[in-house]
């Protein structure tokens, strides 16, 4: 279910068995992959962040997709029996509008395409298209492999599946029209998660990492890394939060909204170049 494994060995030893039960995993399940080394490739820009303000976020929301359209914040959430599509009040964190997915589905990334919203699911190979105003389901569609993140560049849907490859879909037919492998120098960037397309670039969460990649959609080259570490306090991290996941860009302010799965806050930030 893509819940992350705590990084401290002592904590793993103390709570490993209970965590496996909570995640629906058996004791023989393989461990989560290790975070990729954050080696600096020459020519790749390095950024950090400045918090503009913090907004409340539903701490029960397992955030899988986040986006802004016409000033409205939309969020897709995951977990079986808890997955949903929501329109959210940024000031309070409350859901102004919500539709629940059938418990068979583990909700994943979302993208707004005109008057529609497209949502992926994790391992069932099924996606949904909703009317953006009413949240009525307009159609279901299928795809191969896993669904992770989704965004729209104005011409194509861009989808991640947990590998180092992004898929491009026609926004009307939802048929695949291309693929792109993502590289940081010679290193393949795997576990690409939630996506946001901004000013000709793809911004991507990397599962289990506290940094965001900025990717050239023409070449797949990582052109920048944004270090998002230490957004939460140690106390907040001790309260059962999961990984960083959720990027939305507000074209009115130029700020980004950043959150995570089960996080208590959505952080409105500016990206600041290091050095």
Q: Where are the domains of the chain?
A: 43-273
Which tens digit of pLDDT belongs to each residue from 186-199? 999 999 999 999 99
> Which of 254, 271, 236 is CA-nearest to residue 59?
236
* 33, pLDDT greater than 70: no
Task: State the pLDDT at residue 149.
Answer: 98
Which tens digit of pLDDT belongs to each residue from 124-164? 999 999 999 999 999 999 999 999 999 999 999 999 999 99
43: confidence class by pLDDT, cuts 50, 70, 90: confident
CATH topology of domain 43-273: Neuraminidase (2.120.10)
11: confidence class by pLDDT, cuts 50, 70, 90: very low
CA 181 to chain centre: 18
Residue 255 structure tokens = 């700020």
Q: How many residues does the chain have?
A: 275
pTM: 0.86
The answer to whether the beta carbons of residues 183 and 221 sit under 8 Å apart is: yes
**Beta-strand pair 222-227/211-215:** antiparallel
* Comparison of pLDDT for 7 and 35, the residue scoring more: 35
DSSP 89-106: -TTT--EEEEEEPPTT--
* 35, pLDDT greater than 50: no
122: confidence class by pLDDT, cuts 50, 70, 90: very high
Residue 129 structure tokens = 């298209």
Average predicted confidence (pLDDT) for the chain: 89
> Which of 173, 203, 201 is CA-nearest to residue 113?
173
Counting Cα atoms < 13 Å in the Cβ hemisphere of 213 gives: 31
Which tens digit of pLDDT belongs to each residue from 55-99? 999 999 999 999 999 999 999 999 999 999 999 999 999 999 999
């Amino acid at each position: 279910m893509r819940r992350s494994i705590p990084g401290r060995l002592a904590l793993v030893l103390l709570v490993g068995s209970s965590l496996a039960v909570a995640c629906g995993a058996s004791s023989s399940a393989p461990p989560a992959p290790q975070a990729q080394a954050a080696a600096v490739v020459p020519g790749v820009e390095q950024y950090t962040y400045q918090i503009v303000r913090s907004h409340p976020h539903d701490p029960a929301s397992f955030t899988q997709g986040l986006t802004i359209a016409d000033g409205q914040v939309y969020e897709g959430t995951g977990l079986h029996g808890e997955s949903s599509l929501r329109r959210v009040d940024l000031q309070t964190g409350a859901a102004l509008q919500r539709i629940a997915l059938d418990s068979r589905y583990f909700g994943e990334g979302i993208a707004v395409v005109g008057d529609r919203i497209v949502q992926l699911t994790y391992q069932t190979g099924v996606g949904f298209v909703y009317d953006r105003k009413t949240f009525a389901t307009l159609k279901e569609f299928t795809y191969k492999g896993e669904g992770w993140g989704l965004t729209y560049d104005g011409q194509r849907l861009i989808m991640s599946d947990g590998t180092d490859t992004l898929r491009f879909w026609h926004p009307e037919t939802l048929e695949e029209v291309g693929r792109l492998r993502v590289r940081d120098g010679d290193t393949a960037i795997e576990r690409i998660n939630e996506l946001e397309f901004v000013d000709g670039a793809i911004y991507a969460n990397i599962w289990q990492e506290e940094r965001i990649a900025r990717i050239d959609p023409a070449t797949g080259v990582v052109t920048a890394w944004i270090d998002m570490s230490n957004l939460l306090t140690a106390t907040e991290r001790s309260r059962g939060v999961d990984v960083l996941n959720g990027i939305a860009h507000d074209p009115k302010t130029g700020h980004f909204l950043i959150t995570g799965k089960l996080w208590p806050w959505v952080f409105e930030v500016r990206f600041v170049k290091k050095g």
